[in-house]
């Protein structure tokens, strides 16, 4: 019989599901005790150690390319993370939101891993934690610095008044939230004004790429809608934002019109929404769209790689749109060569939204013609 | 008399919803509920700005209560709202969502 001290025996009478809870949610110390306890009690009972294996799979740090997910259920409360509902490798639960959060974070992990060789949110195998059924009537999703959180929409209102479905319904929303985590570990874009709008835009860009990657759509096949499926049939709209045509995603008697600009001329100055981070993100969003269309093929391949390199190697915390434009241009040059088609596409993308690379690129017809003859019009 | 002015901004959509509620105009039961929720939150003792750090896509809630001779404003986010304030936020959010 294995030797065990009194601390162990306390845990020996603790039911396995509670030990599992402790391991998932407890402090490092509690965790260690619980693991030892399970090992010991299994040895005592002469079992094969199925529980130990299960527990070890939860604790084991991720190795490259191996994802680790836990989806929690807040049961309509606001305590995070809530109760574990599905762990890595568990079969589908039948709870739609739980399964969508599980699958969606998995596809997002795959895009980052397969295409950008990134090992999870922190590039170090971080576990992907999501909580669903957050609060009642919570028509939103967010990244709290450690995990993704999703509400069920307007489920608490009478059907005729409901505008929003559950927020896990759109895969790009899941990619969007997880990307906030990536940005936090990389450029650390401050969530205010232009750097905040860039933070938002990066989340829309990679959120959209996750959806396109899953559907294997080329840039011109994709609809570039963010949050498709979030509105109920009561709303006149196709989604929350359009990267293809910012400002056109919805136009509804109750919700009003999509306020996103697609050009610097229409930049919105506001102090609400952290300086309009969800509004002005339309500008860099559209620059990415134009670049992707210019390049053709799968947006995650070239445009995505340029933006990923910019996010992870170049952008600084308080970057402006102008800096983002210049740095994507620089990244394209490093990846594909100075004067490459890719660099030209990036220049075109930003110029369509009113931002010139380096701030002095020739735009329009006449300067273009002049530049052919080596004459600079500025 | 007690008046509540409520705004919810930010969120994934970045869209504002708001509600202005005069407790005198409400049915007794509802006015009592809101009064209780204000007490439960210890509203007039809360710090006025609890919005830091900024949390991506979280809502920011701006609540001002006018009560006879005093007035107090509180700004919180989903990540920073004190537990005792939660029920009030939920109730006001619901009112605002129904009026939008």
- Along the 100 residues of chain B, how does pLDDT read in single tens digits? 899 999 999 999 999 999 999 999 999 999 999 999 999 999 999 999 999 889 999 999 999 999 988 999 999 999 999 999 999 999 999 999 987 6
Closest of A103, A117, A299, A116 to residue A217, by C-alpha: A299
End-to-end CA distance of chain A: 87
- Among A19-28, A100-109, A122-131, A132-141, the range scoring the smallest mean pLDDT is A19-28
Q: Which residue of B has its CA nearest to A202?
A: B56
Looking at per-residue confidence, does A25 or A54 come out higher? Answer: A25
Tokens 């992870």: give the residue: A312
CA distance linking residue A29 with residue A235, whole number of Å: 50
Please tell me the pTM assigned to this model. Answer: 0.83
The answer to whether the CB atoms of B97 and A143 lie below 8 A apart is no
pLDDT (tens digit, 9 = 90+) per residue, A53-64? 444 444 444 455
Nearest Cα of chain B lies from the Cα of A144 at a distance, in angstroms, of 6
Report pLDDT digits (tens) over A142-182. Answer: 999 999 999 999 999 999 999 999 999 999 999 999 999 99
Look at residue A29 in the predicted model and tell me its pLDDT. Answer: 52
Cα Rg, chain B, nearest whole Å: 13
**How many distinct structural domains can be found in chain B?**
1
Domain map (residue ranges) of chain A: 6-59, 62-169, 182-378
Could you count the other beta carbons within 10 Å of the beta carbon of residue A322?
16
Tell me what pLDDT residue A332 has: 98
Please state the rounded mean pLDDT for residues A298-324: 98
Closest Cα in chain A to B92: A137
Specify the fold of A62-169.
Elastase; domain 1 (3.10.170)
Q: A-side interface with B, Cβ within 8 Å?
A: 78, 135-137, 139-145, 149, 154, 156-157, 161, 163, 167, 173, 176-177, 180, 191-192, 196, 199-200, 203, 227, 240, 254-256, 259, 272-274, 276-279
CB A261 within 8 A of CB A279: yes
CB spacing of B11 vs A139 below 8 angstroms: yes
Q: Is A154 in Cβ contact with B14 (below 8 Å)?
A: no
Which residue in chain B is spatially nearest to A249 when comparing CA positions? Answer: B13
Alpha-carbon distance A342 to nearest alpha carbon in chain B (angstroms)? 31
**Residue positions of A annotated with a catalytic role:** 177, 278
Q: Does the structural domain A182-378 have CATH classification 3.30.1490.100?
A: no
DSSP string covering A65-97, please? T---EEEEE-TTS--SS-EEEEETTPPP-S-HH
pLDDT band at A4 (very low <50, low <70, confident <90, very high): very low
A191-211, pLDDT tens digit by residue?
999 999 999 999 999 999 999
A62 DSSP assignment: P
Listing DSSP states for A268-296 in one string gives PP-SHHHHHHHHHTHHHHHHHHHHHHHH-
Report chain A residues whose CB lies below 8 A from the CB of B77: none
pLDDT tens profile A236-288: 999 999 999 999 999 999 999 999 999 999 999 999 999 999 999 999 999 99
Please indicate whether, in this complex, the C-beta atoms of B97 and A140 are within 8 angstroms of each other: no
Q: Do domains A62-169 and A182-378 have the same CATH topology?
A: no
Residues of B in contact with A200 (CB under 8 A): 56
Are A180 and B15 an interchain contact pair (Cβ–Cβ within 8 Å)? no
Average pLDDT of every residue of chain A: 86
Q: What is the pLDDT of residue B28?
A: 94
CB–CB contact B12 A157 (8 Å): no
């Amino acid at each position: 019989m294995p030797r065990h001290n009194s601390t162990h025996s306390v845990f020996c009478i603790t039911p396995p599901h509670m030990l599992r809870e402790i391991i998932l949610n407890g402090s490092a110390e509690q965790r260690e005790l619980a693991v030892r306890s399970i090992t010991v009690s299994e040895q005592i009972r002469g079992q094969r150690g199925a529980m130990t294996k299960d527990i070890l799979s939860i604790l084991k740090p991720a190795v490259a390319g191996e994802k680790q997910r836990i989806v929690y259920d807040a049961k309509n409360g606001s305590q995070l993370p809530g109760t574990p509902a599905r762990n890595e490798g568990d079969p589908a639960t039948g709870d739609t939101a739980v399964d969508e959060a599980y699958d969606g974070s998995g596809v997002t992990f795959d895009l980052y891993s397969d295409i950008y060789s990134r090992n999870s949110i922190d590039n170090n195998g971080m576990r992907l934690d999501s909580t669903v059924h957050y609060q009642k009537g919570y028509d939103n999703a967010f990244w709290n610095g450690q995990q993704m959180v999703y509400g069920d929409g307007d489920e608490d209102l009478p059907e005729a008044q409901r505008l929003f479905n559950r927020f896990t319904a759109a895969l790009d929303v899941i990619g969007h939230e997880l990307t906030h985590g990536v940005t936090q570990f990389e450029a650390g874009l401050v969530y205010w004004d232009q750097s905040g709008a860039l933070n938002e835009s990066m989340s829309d860009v990679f959120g959209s790429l996750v959806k396109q990657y899953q559907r294997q759509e080329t840039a011109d096949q994709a609809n570039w809608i963010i949050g498709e499926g979030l509105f109920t049939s009561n709303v006149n709209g196709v989604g929350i934002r359009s990267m293809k045509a910012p400002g056109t995603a919805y136009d509804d008697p109750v919700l009003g019109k999509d306020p996103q600009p697609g050009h610097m001329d229409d930049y919105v100055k506001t102090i609400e929404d952290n300086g309009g981070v969800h509004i002005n993100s339309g500008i860099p969003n559209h620059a990415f769209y134009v670049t992707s269309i210019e390049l053709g093929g799968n947006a995650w391949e070239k445009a995505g790689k340029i933006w990923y390199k910019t996010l992870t190697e170049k952008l600084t915390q308080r970057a402006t749109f102008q800096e983002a434009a210049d740095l994507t241009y620089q990244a394209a040059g490093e990846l594909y060569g100075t004067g490459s088609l890719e660099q030209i596409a990036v220049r075109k993308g930003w110029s369509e939204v009113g931002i010139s690379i380096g701030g002095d690129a020739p735009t329009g017809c006449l300067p273009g013609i002049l530049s052919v003859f080596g004459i600079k019009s500025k | 008399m007690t008046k509540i002015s409520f705004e919810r901004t930010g969120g994934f959509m970045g869209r504002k919803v708001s509600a202005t509620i005069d407790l005198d105009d409400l049915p007794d039961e509802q006015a009592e509920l809101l009064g209780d929720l204000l007490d439960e939150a210890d509203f007039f003792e809360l710090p006025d700005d609890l919005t830091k750090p900024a949390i991506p896509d979280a809502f920011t809630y701006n609540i001002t209560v006018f009560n006879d001779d005093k007035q107090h404003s509180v700004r919180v986010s989903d990540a920073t709202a004190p537990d005792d304030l939660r029920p009030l936020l939920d109730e006001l959010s619901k009112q605002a969502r129904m009026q939008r």
